[in-house]
Amino acid sequence: MRPFLVVGEAILDVISESGHDRELPGGSPANVAAGLGRLGHQVGLWAHIGADHAGTVLREHLTASGVDLLAPVAGVSSRAHARIQPDGSARYEFTVDWPRWPGGPAPDEPAEHVHTGSIAALMPPGADDVEQLLRQRRAAATVSFDPNVRPSLIGSPDESRARVETLVAASDVVKASDEDLAWLYPGVPPLDSARKWLALGPSLVCVTLGAEGAFAVAGDLDVAVPPVPVTVADTVGAGDAFMSGLLDALWERRLLGVEARLRLGAVTGETIRQVLSRAALVAAITVSRAGAAPPTAEEVSAWER
């Protein structure tokens, strides 16, 4: 049984900055899978990747990152046009197709932990299949979810909120950005939204705060960590790198997998601090260079030293 299965979109990002375009592999779940692969984990990805130039770029990148591609190659790949703002943040325009189980039936690959999120988990018709998959897999695996909302593709907050909360309730670990929460729950403090999600069922809810660091809630605990200071090249893939670093740190501490669910539910404040700090470091390394380029395990060790 492989440790990780990731389900969701792979997208070719066209990055526009200072009048120049660059093509870089992307897509939130694919970025998480690549991050896990580079950190040394065996990870499978079920994603729609087309038989075109963009698909070739995506396949080569993911394979080189140690990701096993599980879905058949067919059709046209999804694309995103990201325009880098003066502060390094990115604004996206998408051309995405997420059909019902792209290329074949639902993935039956066994895994100890299943991760999903973003467009694939929220955009019909494929999102209905993702929701069903999580319900089926939770009996045999732990589950994580990152909404990573893309408003231009998933409708209004009112249309998306119920599906997001259903997926939160089906997960053990949830990560979101403060921007995700502000869009879903306007005017509600991030901590209050995180507590609301925790009450739905997960054991750990983490929230990234950009330049302000991150925090997590679990049980009656509320733990915050500062950001790792770096010079930012751009923020493309930052949240996905945080997610892969979070899962890596939880796996290292034997807190993922169905047999670890009780241990995850009893996680201590010090362990949460360690896990968040590792995730923040992985994200910081990623934003210090262009595009969604998560670090290897060796690079993380070097930064820690």
Residue whose C-alpha is closest to residue 124's, from 101, 104, 144, 145 = 101
State mean pLDDT over 93-121.
Answer: 80
With 0.85 as the threshold, say if the pTM is over it: yes
Name the band, by pLDDT with cuts 50, 70 and 90, for residue 105.
Answer: low
Please report, for residues 5, 153, 251, the alpha-carbon distance to residue 277 in angstroms, rounded to integers and kept in the order given. 24, 32, 15
What interhelical angle do 190-200 and 157-169 show, nearest 10? 50
> Residues 127-148: pLDDT tens digits?
888 998 898 899 999 999 999 9
Amino acid code (one letter) for 294: P
Enumerate the domain spans of the chain: 2-304
Peptide bond into 125 cis (omega under 30): yes
Structural Rg of the chain based on CA atoms: 17
Residues 6+ apart with CB under 8 A from 293: 237, 286
| 168 alpha-carbon distance from chain centroid | 14
> Residues 194-218: pLDDT tens digits?
999 999 999 999 999 988 999 999 9
State mean pLDDT over 1-14.
Answer: 91
In percent, the amount of the chain with pLDDT more than 90 equals: 62
**What is 2-304's CATH number?**
3.40.1190.20
